Amino acid sequence: MKNILILGADGYLGWPTSMYLSNKNYNVVATDNFYKKKIIKKLKINSLFKTPSLEKKCKIWKLKTKKKIIFENIDLCDFKKFNLFFKKIQKKLGKINTVIHFAEQPSAPYSMISPYTSNDTIYNNLIGTNNLINTIRELSPETHIVKLGTMGEYGTPNIVIEEGWLKIIHKGRSDKFLFPRQASSIYHTSKIMDTDLLWFACRNWKIKVTDLMQGPVYGISTKESQIDKNLTIDFFYDEIFGTVINRFVTQAAIGHPLTIYGKGGQTRGYIHIKDTLKCIEKAIENPPTRGHMNIYNQISETFSINEIAKKIKLAASNLSLNVKVKNIKNPRNEKEKHFYSPVYSKLKKLGFESTKLSPEILTEMIKKVLINKNKIIKKNILRNISW
């Protein structure tokens, strides 16, 4: 069995990834310091589903599946403690084949609330990534780092977005560089910086990295999360941690207008949570050689905000819900009309088959929200964060 260390295993993606890989017979070590839970408590945000602690979920998983997920409460930003933990776990299990790095502050709006939340985001994301790099460099240079990046690093350039790299011909000479980045928030800028840190480490210390440039994720459950109600994944519907499709589905279920920022022409690449798990598995199975960095654009299809709202309005009508759409002043400094054409073919070449955003998927999501609608705190949907 290959040993997989998952950092940030308590999150929207971290826990389903832990279950998915355990179910695939990987030996999974799940770590978290519950940094995001502290933010959620401070901001009085709630997940649609109440879930047990990560430690308890690991115990329930073992009880239900007879498969073990090892839990450790570890702060990646504490280099000494993380380094000692990594030594201990490798001594216990043997070589850690892959580290999956989810341990970052994942919200653009949170990063833009104040200078304090900006600093918090930069510190957590960059110090954590740098500590991981230096631990791998020192203790296990053959270990493959799979880091969750974001398509938001690219921004919305007026050219086709290549998969991570761009070949430049300038004054008769050519070279390959990271595709130019132009983020629209402190969070996305921190992700650019950790991509740069990882690429530096590849060039200088010959570690091996896969950076998954993922679009906004949607979805409310996975195959594994349905084994037991206590294995349910966190689902956020608020402006800070809720991605747009999840937010709109929630708004549709409770009769809240779908709130479109500005004119709604903003176009992005989206991916179902089940596809995220498949892509991570493909990344694990196809590591680069030492000193190299794979970059994949991890999306399934692209939509404008207006197109998403139209799809959700249609799905809601199947449940006799009359959903209204409301354009509000855009709180973000972003282009509302722009060219957007990302390449996303590398994962497909590795065998990834994507899930399309269908009326059936959206209808099923709305049904699950409706069952739990009494738990929704309406004032959390819009927090009036602007930049």
In the chain, the N- to C-terminal Cα span, in Å, equals 47
Of the residues 110, 154, 187, 237, which is catalytic?
Answer: 187
Of the residues 31, 51, 98, 150, which is catalytic?
Answer: 150
Q: Which two tokens stand for residue 360?
A: 């059936």
In angstroms, rounded to a whole number, what is the distance separating the alpha carbons of residues 334 and 110? 16
Residue where the block lists tokens 């850690």: 96
Catalytic, 259? Answer: no
Catalytic, 237? Answer: no
Query: What's the half-sphere exposure (Cβ side, CA atoms, 13 Å) at 156?
Result: 17
In angstroms, rounded to a whole number, what is the distance separating the alpha carbons of residues 47 and 253? 15
Catalytic, 150? Answer: yes
Of the residues 191, 208, 274, 311, which is catalytic?
Answer: 191
In angstroms, rounded to a whole number, what is the distance separating the alpha carbons of residues 24 and 4? 11
Strand, helix or coil for residue 103 = coil
Q: Which two tokens stand for residue 292?
A: 């190299």
Burial 103-121 (b: 16+ CB within 10 A, else e): bbbbbbbbbbbeeebbebb
State which amino acid sits at residue 11. G
In angstroms, rounded to a whole number, what is the distance separating the alpha carbons of residues 168 and 179? 10
For residue 49, the 8-state DSSP code is S
- As annotated, the active-site residues are 150, 187, 191
